[in-house]
Structures are given as structure tokens and as C-alpha cells.
């Protein structure tokens, strides 16, 4: 989910109005690709941009950093064994003429055998899947609802904060069917009154060899916006 999507990610989860998806020549197996990503992780340099509230005023910022998904490790999550992957961004941003360090981190938990989403933990929040959220093998340009997370203030599950609805869609279909398509996960965050308070997205390039690469991420909420893009090779 990237969970506060690791900062959270916004960007639109697809609306079902894209071009019809051609039959792929390869498998485009999202479940297998996600399992491989959880196992191996990834690291990439990124550009950061968005808006932040400074002295009560929304101000634009820019910056650079490193996005890291650590290789998954076995551990306990909500009383069960899981593969846990730390998703983080570290870097610097410049806002209102001042340069400051930036960091964001979330631990995502997956079912070891299938890479189904079990939940996530981060500072002041612990989210648990209402039931394991299975990653589909194949998806299309129509939005597919995957499941929901229940939000709590910590792992005791004593204080409810709301829910998260998780969906996925193909947002770019390549003309060349052997080229990567773009798959976007969207996380809509609600409070206990079922009011939408944040929208996070993270997108990956998915190859027919079932490999995922980082494409973009974004978040939009009351505290501002953030867009994360891979740096272009020099």
C-alpha cells in the first residue's frame, strides 16, 4: 500500500475507459511478479515533488531520494507468520527556500506462499486485511477491487481509525505486446465516519517475463501531495 504508500501515492486508479487490452504474448502474471518482488526487493533513485503545509500555507517542494523495497524476511504479523518487506524513501526536499531531510517508511506483510496482502505497519498505525487480499494473475483496464484493510492505532487493535480499500488496474497497454504494461495499485483511505481522507497509488511496469519495475507513486491528502518518479538516466 504502500501505505501511506510509503509515502502514499496518488494518481488515479484507472476508470475502466482505457483501450481494450490485447491478449498478451507472454503471461503477464501479476501474482508471480509480486511474489518475485517481495522476495528480491528493489532500489531506485527518485525525484520528489508536491505540496506541503508550511506555516498554514500550501507550498510547493522538490527533491531527490532513494526508494527501497527490502528483500522480504520471515516474521510475525498479527499473530501469524508472514513475509515482511520494508518500503522506504530517504532523501532531501526544498520547500519555502529551506532544504530538509525527508524520510518515509512502512512495513508491508504478505502471505508467504501466495504473496497475498496481510496488512502493514508504520508509525502510529497498524492495518490488517479483513481477509488475505489475493493478487490476481491477470488484470485488465477495468478497475478490480481486491479487498479491504481495517486501520488501527497499533498492533493491539484497540483503537479503530477507519478502513482502506485496495484496487488494481492496467493503466497503460503497450502497442508492442512484448513491452511492459503499467499496473497501478490504488489505496483509498477512509476514517471511521467513512469519509475519504487520502488516496495513495503506486504503479509498476510489468513485463511478460513476470518482472516488476517501479514506475511512479503519489499521495494526496489533507497535509499535502507527493509525487515520486524514477530519475532519468544521465
Residue 129 to residues 21, 78, 111: CA-CA distances in angstroms?
30, 10, 11
| Segments in the chain below pLDDT 50 | 1-26
pTM of the model: 0.86
- 23 domain residue, yes or no: no
- Rg from Cα positions in the chain: 17
In a domain, 123, yes or no: yes
* Most distant pair of Cα atoms in the chain: their distance: 53
pLDDT score of 232: 80
- Cα–Cα distance for residue pair 185/168, rounded to 1 Å: 4
Total tally of structural domains belonging to the chain: 1
pLDDT of residue 109: 98
C-alpha cell at 167: 484496487
Tell me which residue range forms the domain holding 114.
30-222
Within a domain: residue 8? no
Residue 35 lies in a domain: yes
Element (H, E) at 31: helix 30-40
Looking at residue 52, what is its pLDDT? Answer: 84
The answer to whether the beta carbons of residues 66 and 89 sit under 8 Å apart is yes
Task: Detail the DSSP E strand segments found in 96-143.
Answer: 98-110, 117-122, 125-133
Q: Which residue has the cell 497501478?
A: 184
What integer pLDDT is reported at residue 233 of this predicted model? 63
pLDDT at residue 147 in the model: 97
Phi, psi of 152 (to 5 degrees): -135, 165
Q: Is residue 42 in a domain? A: yes
Question: Is 15 contained in some domain?
Answer: no
- At 24 the pLDDT is 42
The pLDDT value given to residue 25: 43
DSSP reduced 3-state for 74: strand
- Calpha distance 53→37 (Å, rounded): 34
CB 166 within 8 Å of CB 117:
yes
pLDDT score at 71: 97
Predicted local distance difference test score (pLDDT) of residue 19: 37
Residue 5 lies in a domain: no
For position 55, what pLDDT does the model report? 78
For residue 19, is it within any domain?
no
Amino acid at each position: 500500500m504502500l501505505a501511506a504508500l510509503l509515502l502514499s501515492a496518488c494518481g488515479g486508479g484507472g476508470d475502466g475507459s482505457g483501450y481494450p487490452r490485447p491478449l498478451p504474448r507472454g503471461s503477464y502474471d501479476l501474482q508471480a511478479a509480486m511474489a518475485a518482488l517481495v522476495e528480491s526487493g528493489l532500489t531506485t533513485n527518485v525525484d520528489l515533488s508536491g505540496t506541503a503545509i508550511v506555516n498554514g500555507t500550501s507550498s510547493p517542494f522538490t527533491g531527490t531520494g532513494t526508494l527501497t523495497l527490502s528483500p522480504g524476511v520471515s516474521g510475525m504479523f498479527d499473530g501469524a507468520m508472514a513475509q515482511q518487506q520494508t518500503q522506504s524513501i530517504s532523501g532531501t526536499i526544498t520547500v519555502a527556500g529551506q532544504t530538509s531531510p525527508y524520510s518515509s517508511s512502512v512495513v508491508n506483510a504478505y502471505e508467504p506462499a501466495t504473496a497475498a496482502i496481510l496488512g502493514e505497519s508504520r508509525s502510529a498505525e497498524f492495518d490488517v486485511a479483513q481477509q488475505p487480499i489475493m493478487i490476481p494473475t491477470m488484470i485488465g483496464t477495468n478497475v478490480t477491487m481486491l479487498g479491504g484493510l481495517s486501520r488501527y492505532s497499533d498492533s493491539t487493535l484497540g483503537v479503530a481509525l477507519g478502513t482502506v480499500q485496495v484496487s488494481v488496474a492496467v493503466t497503460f497497454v503497450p502497442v508492442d505486446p512484448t513491452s511492459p504494461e503499467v499496473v497501478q495499485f490504488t489505496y483509498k483511505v477512509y476514517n471511521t465516519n467513512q469519509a475519504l481522507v487520502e488516496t495513495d497509488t503506486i504503479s509498476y511496469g510489468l513485463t511478460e517475463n513476470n518482472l516488476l519495475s517501479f514506475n511512479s507513486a503519489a499521495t494526496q491528502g489533507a497535509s499535502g501531495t507527493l509525487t515520486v518518479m524514477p530519475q532519468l538516466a544521465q
